[in-house]
Amino acid sequence: MAEIIVETHPLAPFLPANAQLLMLGSFPPPAARWKMNFYYPNLQNDMWRIFGLVFFQDKHYFFTENNKAFNEPLIRTFLSERGIAINDTAYQIRRLQNNAADKFLEVVTPVDLPALLAQIPDCRHIMTTGDKATSTLLQLLPAGTAAPTISHPSDTTLADRHLTLSRLPSSSRAYPLALERKAVIYRDYFYTIGLLS
């Protein structure tokens, strides 16, 4: 049986200096499926459709003109202006089934969370976008930190910084919730933490 290779995260953390929120997913899909060199690059993932609906009432706002790829410069500029950082909870993984499904990801090395937070000193919110991301994050936090659930955040302290943890619905289409309903939950979240007026 062939040995399953260890993949190292292919993207640098996206850490605007003004970030108030750190979004953490699990790990990018295989590169063959990418439509840009940035987070949530798979066209079948709805994260940027959700963002388009939440902030601009247009699910195609962050797409190129033909809607067949993402507008990466627009996404980066928007996130920088809003103070939203993005990375993943896993730095190295093995794909047990050679696909992007979280349930078949084995986390070999988690992200260095204190190092990330040190680069975004104004960040007080961490949001995860799936079960794998949430469970991996909890392993990086002080023992006894409560797991956040959808609509029920939790709190913790890391390196003398108070953090609010929130769990939002996965943007994967495998998560059984309509796009519009996901957008409502995300909209409420961004409003609550002050990134949407």
Q: How many domains does the chain have?
A: 1
Q: Residues 4-47: pLDDT tens digits?
A: 889 999 999 999 999 999 999 999 988 888 999 999 999 999 99
CA atoms within 13 A on the CB side of 86: 19
pLDDT at 98: 67
Q: What is the rounded CA–CA span in Å between residue 44 and residue 129?
A: 15
φ and ψ of 39, to 5 deg = -70, 150
* 97 lies in some domain: yes
Q: What is the C-alpha separation between 165 and 138, in angstroms, rounded? A: 10
**Residue at 57 is within a domain:** yes
- Conformation bin of residue 101: beta by default, left when phi > 0, alpha when psi is -120 to 50: beta
Q: Would 7 be classed as within a structural domain?
A: no
In a domain, 6, yes or no: no
Would you state the structure tokens that stand for residue 108, as one six-digit string? Answer: 């070999």
Burial 117-150 (b: 16+ CB within 10 A, else e): beebeebbbbbbbbebbbebbbebbeeebeebee
Above pLDDT 70, what percent of the chain? 96
Determine the structural domain holding residue 71 and report its residue range. 12-192
State the CATH number of the domain containing residue 88. Answer: 3.40.470.10
Nearest in space to 89 (alpha carbons), one of 157, 162, 165: 165
- pLDDT value of residue 99: 59
pLDDT of res. 101: 63
State the chain's mean pLDDT as an integer.
93
Q: Above 70 in pLDDT, residue 89?
A: yes
pLDDT at 87: 98
* 135 lies in some domain: yes
- CA–CA gap between residue 59 and residue 55 (Å, rounded): 10
Which one has a higher pLDDT value, 100 or 171? 171
Instruction: Inform me whether the pLDDT recorded for 126 exceeds 80.
Output: yes
Token digits of residue 31: 């590169």
- Closest CA relative to residue 86, chosen from 189, 14, 180: 14
Is the confidence at residue 187, as pLDDT, over 90? Answer: yes
* Per-residue pLDDT, 64: 94
